[in-house]
Structure 1
Amino acid sequence: MTNILVVDVNATTSYRIRKLLEPQQIEIHSATTFNEGINRLTNPSYEIDMVLIDVKLGPENGFDLIQKFREINENVLVVIVTSLNTRQSFVQGIKVGAVDYILKPYDEAYLKSKLLGHICAIEKSKSLPEVSPQLVDQMIYSAIRKAIREEYEVLIGLMIIYHKTESGNEGVNIRDMAILKTLLNEVKESVGTDDVLLTQGANGIIVILPRKNLQLKESISSYYRKLCDDFLLSRNLSETSIALDFINLPNEVDPSQNALSVLAHRIEKILL
């Protein structure tokens, strides 16, 4: 279920959005003023995922309201739907954190297509597996211990999603999590039944590949680099990149060391 807050001086807009998105599993909440919008977003029973806002709120400043929304919840996805059609307003909307700017009067099919895309991203982000750092360490430790016991080598890989502009790396938002979820599905198709996939935070994927020796490392690294490049290209994510590296145990690092920390330091050098 996606919770959408519609902020518009026209009280019928929320009804029109609800009808437009039927039969999607959504809940629509409405506000017509600055204070109503704040109250809806801060109400813990609503758990707002996305805000549709017309920045023309009479005497009130809709851009200030968006900025306030982002201060309250930096992960909320904001879409501007307005008749205000100037380059200055568009730039201002992007600066305060809106992910989309749709002009009124809008074509209903176009608006529906845009909103469904955002809803899809929200739902994908909600389906990310919850993996604690402690569980990650435990599973890596178990994989290494088994490799030592059964005397085989293991490759551990780390992929980090990042934005090429510094501003894009500030905070974590729903779209970043959706990118991670979609990439995770791509990587799942490449691994075997004995391999392990874990997420690290909202922008990292850990791959544990048992019975892969040091000689296979370069070909496996190349395969995953191409997979990531193709993933970004096919989705036109030109401002996003993926840094990755693999490490072999026990040849490249002592099993008693924290392999994930070693990988993270390597990737940090790549990013620098």
Structure 2
Amino acid sequence: MRILVVEDEQALQDQLKDALNQQGFAVDQATDGEEGLFFAREYPIDLAIVDLGLPKLNGLDLIKKVREQDLTFPILILTARDRWQDKVEGLSLGADDYLAKPFQMEELLARTNALLRRSAGLANPVVKKGPIELDTMSQGVTVNGEVLELTAYEYKVLEYLMMNSDKVISKTELTEHIYEQDHDKDSNVLEVFVRRLRKKLDPEGTLQPIDTLRGRGYRISPNL
């Protein structure tokens, strides 16, 4: 999943990036509202974390412009604790949740995961497809109750496919949602991740959990 962080305080921006990266998210960073709007328009963002006190274009105006362009990804706003009016206005303009500064990073991560699940139509942090269970909070994966050891990118691929199991995901879309902006995006490497995932999820070759649709992409098998 790809997260946009729009925050002008460098120390906090770095803390957010580190915490989100550790949770397996790809992170794009912007230090002002205009740059944040550019990222929102040009990149396939899954969720944005937006500070309201931004230079050039404040957070409220950024949220308004994002929603005016029919960009529907969830937005979590960061705001000073004593500015309740900003919270109300941010939510009315289209933000989905807010967090008052200072905050605990664990709470931000929990809210981020909850918003991503909600946007995917999932109420439970554990996503189930047949015998496969993926816990979006602990990032654990089991098949028939047995724990799998996945690399960070194998997990990212599986999580995106399972949270979008109702559609076919092209290689381009999958690549753009698991890598950060400046990462070398090699589709051949993606094929390696998918091949390794198949072996780990289905070592006997009986489950066939990931379909390849020639010329279209991948999907979690509807037969699970």
TM-score by length of 1: 0.42
Task: Mark the runs of 5 or more structure 1 residues left unpaired by the alignment.
Answer: 132-272
Conserved in 1, the CA contact under 8 Å of 2:32 and 2:56? Answer: no
Judging changes above 3 Å, is the alpha-carbon distance between structure 1 residues 124 and 19 closer, same or farther for their aligned structure 2 residues?
A: farther
* Residue of structure 1 aligned with 2:63, choices 59, 63, 66: 66
* Residue of structure 2 aligned with 1:81, choices 75, 78, 102: 78
What residue is the counterpart of 1:173 in the other structure?
A: none
Structure 1 residues 9-50: Cα deviation after superposition (integer angstroms, max 9, x where no partner):
11343331232234433110011112211211121xx30111
Q: Secondary structure at the match of 1:48?
A: coil
The one-letter code matched in structure 2 to 1:129 is D
Conserved in 1, the CA contact under 8 Å of 2:47 and 2:74? Answer: yes
What residue is the counterpart of 1:30 in the other structure?
A: 29
Measure how far apart 1:91 and its partner are: 1.2
CA RMSD of aligned residues (A): 2.3
Judging changes above 3 Å, is the alpha-carbon distance between structure 1 residues 95 and 124 closer, same or farther for their aligned structure 2 residues?
A: closer
Matches within 5 A, 1:232-243: none
Measure how far apart 1:84 and its partner are: 5.3
Task: Mark the runs of 5 or more structure 2 residues left unpaired by the alignment.
Answer: 123-162, 169-224
Judging changes above 3 Å, is the alpha-carbon distance between structure 1 residues 60 and 26 closer, same or farther for their aligned structure 2 residues?
A: same
Conserved in 2, the CA contact under 8 Å of 1:81 and 1:102? Answer: yes
The one-letter code matched in structure 1 to 2:10 is A
Structure 1 residues 213-239: Cα deviation after superposition (integer angstroms, max 9, x where no partner):
xxxxxxxxxxxxxxxxxxxxxxxxxxx
What residue is the counterpart of 1:127 in the other structure?
A: 164
Measure how far apart 1:64 and its partner are: 0.8
Distance 1:117 1:101 in 2: 12
Judging changes above 3 Å, is the alpha-carbon distance between structure 1 residues 112 and 106 closer, same or farther for their aligned structure 2 residues?
A: same
Identity of aligned residues (%): 28
Matches within 5 A, 1:121-270: 121-122=118-119, 126-130=163-167
Conserved in 2, the CA contact under 8 Å of 1:79 and 1:99? Answer: yes
Q: Secondary structure at the match of 2:10?
A: coil
Q: Secondary structure at the match of 1:56?
A: coil
What residue is the counterpart of 1:106 in the other structure?
A: 103
What residue is the counterpart of 2:5 in the other structure?
A: 6
Q: Secondary structure at the match of 1:57?
A: coil
Distance 1:59 1:39 in 2: 13
The one-letter code matched in structure 1 to 2:62 is L
Structure 1 residues 184-231: Cα deviation after superposition (integer angstroms, max 9, x where no partner):
xxxxxxxxxxxxxxxxxxxxxxxxxxxxxxxxxxxxxxxxxxxxxxxx
Judging changes above 3 Å, is the alpha-carbon distance between structure 1 residues 130 and 108 closer, same or farther for their aligned structure 2 residues?
A: closer
Q: Secondary structure at the match of 2:82?
A: coil
What residue is the counterpart of 2:135 in the other structure?
A: none
Q: Secondary structure at the match of 1:60?
A: coil
What residue is the counterpart of 2:91 in the other structure?
A: 94
Larger Rg: 1
Judging changes above 3 Å, is the alpha-carbon distance between structure 1 residues 124 and 61 closer, same or farther for their aligned structure 2 residues?
A: same
Measure how far apart 1:122 and its partner are: 4.3
TM-score by length of 2: 0.51
Distance 1:19 1:101 in 2: 20
Conserved in 2, the CA contact under 8 Å of 1:80 and 1:100? Answer: yes
The one-letter code matched in structure 1 to 2:66 is F
> Comparing both structures, which one devotes a greater share of its residues to helix?
1
